[in-house]
Amino acid sequence: MSYGIVPPFLLNRIAATDKPHLARAAQAAQRTLMAPRDYSPRHATLKLSVEGDTLVAETAPSPDRTIADAHNTETLPGDTVRTENQEPVADETVNQAFDGLGETFDFYWSAYQRDSIDGHGLPLDATVHYSQDYDNAFWNGQRMVFGDGDGDVFTGFTGSLTVIAHELTHGVTEASGGLDYQGQSGALNESISDVFGVLTEQYHLGQTADQASWLVGAGIFSDQVTGVALRSLKAPGTAYDDDVLGKDPQPATMAGYVQTTEDNGGVHINSGIPNHAFYLAATAIGGKAWETAGLIWYKTVTAGTLPQDASFATFADATLKVAQTEYGEQSKEVDAVRTAWTGVGVLSDGTD
């Protein structure tokens, strides 16, 4: 399926508003909900070169980026406007997308020695200026696609590294075996993207866990919105409280778990619970979150042993096993992970 950073329940709220000054935003949200977002996964091809009489596989870890412009149509991929090794262009949206793809590639290679999102050098392509006032950004299995936003609620998506890394991480999850996009496994799918979205930003900024904002999508709202981001791992439920968008519905613990048939069983809502568990583990361990807590989560996701319908408890158990393998059963890292999952109510005291 095709993922989008802005959940459908937010777009529905905007589409339903009758505030005159948000008429353009309402129309934009309606178009966004109806616009096509087909999912079609692409696989990397082996890069080969010839040196003398020898055929050589190229394994140097470097991104291969191509940015296209849809010119506000819904036709993909659009016209190529910047490729790898070309200088920045006049359109800052193009340059932001190019840089964000590269920064995400750099994070995964530097932190986990992962060569692109599939681990095999998948080219990173993106299309900007998709549709008219399009209020979303998404990964469709082949490329990142960015709308420009309506200007009244959303101001654009290419300037947020957490948005770009979040969406590309859906590709990492899919390449690692995937998680069903429904209920708890779907919420884990979203949470994993949030986790590595914020870790990419933290790595890029050189932040420790206590220095980071832990926000996903900071900066994509206009000044008219009462809110700081789409989601907060530090404090789920506090990212926005707006008269049009409503209040951030994410729970931080299982006590607030939302039973719903909307949003594929609340995948963008209940993801706040595993999000907060990661935040608690990372801040308890301290230091640079991608180095320890992030490594535990990364190895859990990419081990190929998670069932596609994994529950929160299944995932929690898996992170504990990875932590024990990496750091020892009596380590502070294991204690931090266990305490985090019990703190959000996914595991009971003494459960591992």
Q: Which CATH superfamily is domain 3-343 in?
A: Neutral Protease Domain 2 (1.10.390.10)
CA dihedral 330, 331, 336, 341 (to 10 degrees): -40
Could you give the 3-state DSSP secondary structure of residue 189? Answer: helix
Whole-number Å distance between alpha carbons of 272 and 198 = 14
pLDDT, tens only, 43-89: 444 444 555 556 555 555 799 999 999 999 999 999 999 999 999 99
pLDDT over 70, % of the chain: 91
Minimal CA–CA distance to 146: which of 138, 42, 154, 79?
A: 138
CB atoms within 10 A of CB 248: 22
pLDDT of 52 reads: 57
- Which residue, chain included where needed, has tokens 């997308």? 97
Is the pLDDT assigned to residue 4 strictly greater than 90? no
pLDDT over 90, % of the chain: 84
pLDDT, tens only, 96-132: 999 999 999 999 999 999 999 999 999 999 999 999 9
* Average pLDDT of span 159-180: 95
- Among residues 129, 170, 268, 276, the one annotated as catalytic is 268
pLDDT of 117 reads: 94
Q: What is the CA radius of gyration of the chain?
A: 20
Is the pLDDT assigned to residue 342 strictly greater than 50? yes
Whole-number Å distance between alpha carbons of 247 and 63 = 39
* Average pLDDT of span 263-281: 97
pLDDT of 45 reads: 45
Whole-number Å distance between alpha carbons of 80 and 74 = 15
Per-domain residue ranges of the chain: 3-343
CA angle 10, 172, 302 (to 5 degrees): 125
Is the pLDDT assigned to residue 201 strictly greater than 90? yes
Whole-number Å distance between alpha carbons of 99 and 290 = 20
Whole-number Å distance between alpha carbons of 128 and 123 = 16
Band (349; pLDDT cuts 50, 70, 90): confident
Is the pLDDT assigned to residue 38 strictly greater than 80? no
Q: Any catalytic annotation for residue 21?
A: no
- Among residues 166, 167, 174, 190, the one annotated as catalytic is 167
CB 272 within 8 A of CB 279: no
Q: Any catalytic annotation for residue 268?
A: yes
